[in-house]
């Protein structure tokens, strides 16, 4: 009798798992609207930033794509190889929307040994990611990246610094993106 009950139990489990397998597939990961907020950045871009001489433009290249099931936004930056900018800046970043904190998180690394970590959000048609940093002299500053004036084939990006805890911001490196 015990063998019969065990057989019935196993058969019931088999039927239950077969029924579960026939249910509608789960929603694909990373498809929430907020997880798609960086889609404007995905693409192949020509970049222009001011040079050291008046009216001079320095050109860079950036390729942004979605990887790992479209859950991660990966950046591959190639800076200008202009002599005054040697060595050429090469860098990559990984960005993800963290559903637990409801924030974007980005990690940047480059060929100059930098490791930078940012958090932020897309609000008022701007993506702003920021971080606190300690300078070599021990002073604290806030740093941020701002993606703004976003249109389908171009936008502006700026690297900014605040020495007064975010009350005012100084633009250190403005870049204009234009889709290739």
What does each of the 180 residues of the chain score in pLDDT, given as a tens digit? 555 565 564 445 444 454 444 555 566 789 899 999 999 999 999 999 998 889 889 999 999 999 999 999 999 999 987 766 667 899 999 999 999 999 999 999 999 999 999 999 999 999 999 999 998 899 999 999 999 999 999 999 999 999 999 999 999 999 999 999
Q: What is the CB neighbour count within 10 angstroms for residue 60?
A: 20
Residue 17: inside a domain, yes or no? no
CB-based contact 79:59 (threshold 8 Å): no
Residue 141 tokens read as 């500053």
Considering the entire predicted model, what is its pTM?
Answer: 0.82
Inside any domain, residue 109: yes
Residue 10, in any domain of the structure: no
Q: What are the beta bridge partners of residue 178?
A: 46, 154
Residue 159 · residue 173 · CB < 8 Å: yes
- Predicted pLDDT at 80: 86
For the beta carbon of residue 88, count every other beta carbon within 10 angstroms: 12
DSSP, collapsed to helix, strand or coil, labels residue 158 as strand
* Domains contained in the chain, number: 1
- Helix, coil or strand: residue 14: helix
* Range of the structural domain that residue 90 is part of: 33-179
Quick check: is 2 in a domain? no
Residue 16 lies in a domain: no
pLDDT of the residue at 173: 95
DSSP track, 32-53: SGGGGTTGGG-EEEEEEEE-SS
For residue 145, is it within any domain? yes
**66: CATH:** 2.40.128.20
Contact 161, 142 (CB under 8 A): yes
- As given in the structure block, the two tokens for residue 66 are 């979605």
Structural domain includes residue 76: yes
Q: Determine, yes or no, domain membership for 162.
A: yes
- Length of the chain measured in residues: 180
The predicted structure's pLDDT at residue 4:
53
**DSSP states of 93-128 as a string?**
EEEEEETTTTEEEEEEEETT--EEEEEEEEETTEEE
């Amino acid at each position: 009798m015990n063998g019969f009950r065990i057989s019935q139990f196993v058969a019931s489990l088999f039927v239950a798992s077969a029924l579960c397998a026939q249910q509608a597939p789960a929603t694909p990961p990373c498809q929430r609207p907020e997880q798609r907020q960086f889609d404007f950045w995905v693409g192949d871009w020509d970049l222009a930033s001011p040079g050291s001489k008046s009216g001079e433009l320095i050109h860079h290249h950036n390729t942004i794509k979605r990887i790992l099931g479209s859950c991660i936004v990966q950046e591959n930056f190639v800076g200008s190889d202009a002599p005054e900018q040697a060595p050429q800046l090469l860098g990559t970043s990984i960005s993800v929307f963290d559903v637990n904190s409801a924030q974007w998180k980005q990690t940047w690394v480059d060929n100059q040994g930098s490791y930078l970590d940012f958090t932020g959000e897309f609000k008022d048609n701007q993506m702003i990611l920021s971080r606190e940093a300690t300078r070599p002299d021990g002073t604290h500053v806030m740093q941020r990246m701002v993606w703004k004036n976003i249109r389908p084939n171009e936008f502006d990006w700026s690297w900014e610094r605040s020495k007064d805890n975010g009350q005012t911001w100084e633009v250190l490196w403005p870049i204009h993106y234009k889709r290739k």
